[in-house]
Amino acid sequence: MPKEPVTRNDVAEYAGVSTAVVSYVVNEGPRKVAPDTRERVLEAIRVLGYRPNATARALRMGTTRTFGVITPDGGNPLFAELAKAIDKEAATRGYVVLQTSADGDPEIERAKIGELLARQVSGLVLVAPSADPSVEGVPVIAINRSLEAVSSVRPAYREGARRGVEHLVSHGHRVIGLVIGGAGHPERELGWRDALEAAGLPEGPIVRTSFSREGGYDAARTLLAASPTAIFASSDLQAIGVLRALHEAGVRIPEDIALASFDGTPETEYTWPPLTVVRQPVEALAREAVQRLIDGEQSVEALTVPTELVLRKSCGC
């Protein structure tokens, strides 16, 4: 049976004090309360099972100590990891995170932003947003995508990719293919070019596809025609697709073709062979994002966080 909600009035009445005093006790301020009065109030709260109504509080205060997080796809392990890290980071600073996913649809993304704003969130984290949001009055930060109008935090895509490819080069590879997402993500591609150029190698074969396992799978089958001896994938998901395509083709990894990818989500440690990856600094990204939100730091300059090269079997190490 749905119990009637217990309000502050009930508590005040039960404890024989005014609602103001209850408020002081609940919030431990802004006025001091006599110890015994305080005890009576706490007792009343316990007995009645009182829970403060956060919406009323939000209405009164105009703020909620809540952040909204929107990812393009909750099923993507990288985004899931990011969301989790943001949640944890925010929690340590007394904020609650409301997470939702836009399913890769800009329209849904806009709608969800609206929902979150209507709920008076104190800040918004957009993970790899598809477009510049129009938001006023609330701090916003983008992760993994630089935008025109909002502050952003991102991994060192270009340099990270370069280091990954350089490592492949150091294993003696001379034909290094690239599997990369569609338009709008030039950095990892540039890093790949940087490494090849620096080594005096000709440009390798390149396939543009979606950031998905299927995309990687299809891309690898195309790439095989160009007989690369190594492949760099711009995301883990794609690398996992590549892995399957290579296995199916009877290609040995890393003996026949070496493989490395960008992201470094946990599952790459358990593929066969385990993947050498350029690890996204998930925790640091989350920390910086939350930090900026709380500080109201709204410089539009993008903050770049360094990546980490994790060597495992797939590169030949």
Partner DNA sequence: TTGAAAGCGTTACCAG
Partner DNA sequence: CTGGTAACGCTTTCAA
Q: Choose, by CB under 8 A, the member of 217, 234, 257, 261 that binds its own copies.
A: 217
* 295 lines the binding site for its own copies (CB under 8 A): no
Shortest spacing between CB 224 and its own copies, in angstroms = 16
Q: Choose, by CB under 7 A, the member of 46, 49, 59, 311 that binds DNA.
A: 59
Compare residues 27 and 298 and give the one whose CB is closer to DNA.
27
**What are the residue ranges of helices labelled H in 122-185?**
157-170
* 3 lines the binding site for DNA (CB under 7 A): no
Q: Choose, by CB under 8 A, the member of 15, 97, 224, 315 that binds its own copies.
A: 97
Contact region with DNA (CB under 7 A), list: 33-41, 71-79, 218-226, 269-277: 33-41
* 251 lines the binding site for its own copies (CB under 8 A): no
**Assigned token pair, 118:** 């209507």
**What are the residue ranges of helices labelled H in the chain?**
8-15, 19-27, 35-48, 54-61, 77-92, 106-118, 157-170, 186-198, 213-223, 236-248, 282-295
Binding mask 230-249 for its own copies (x = CB under 8 A): ----------xx-xx--x--
Q: 142-147: which pairs have CB atoms within 8 A and are 24 or more residues apart?
A: 143/82, 143/285, 143/286, 143/289, 144/82, 144/280, 144/285, 146/302
**Assigned token pair, 60:** 């009164």
Shortest spacing between CB 168 and DNA, in angstroms = 56
Alpha-carbon span 247 to 240, nearest angstrom: 11
Q: What is the DSSP letter of 79?
A: H
- Chain residues in the site for DNA (CB under 7 A): 5, 7-9, 16-24, 26-27, 29-34, 36-38, 51-53, 56-57, 59-62
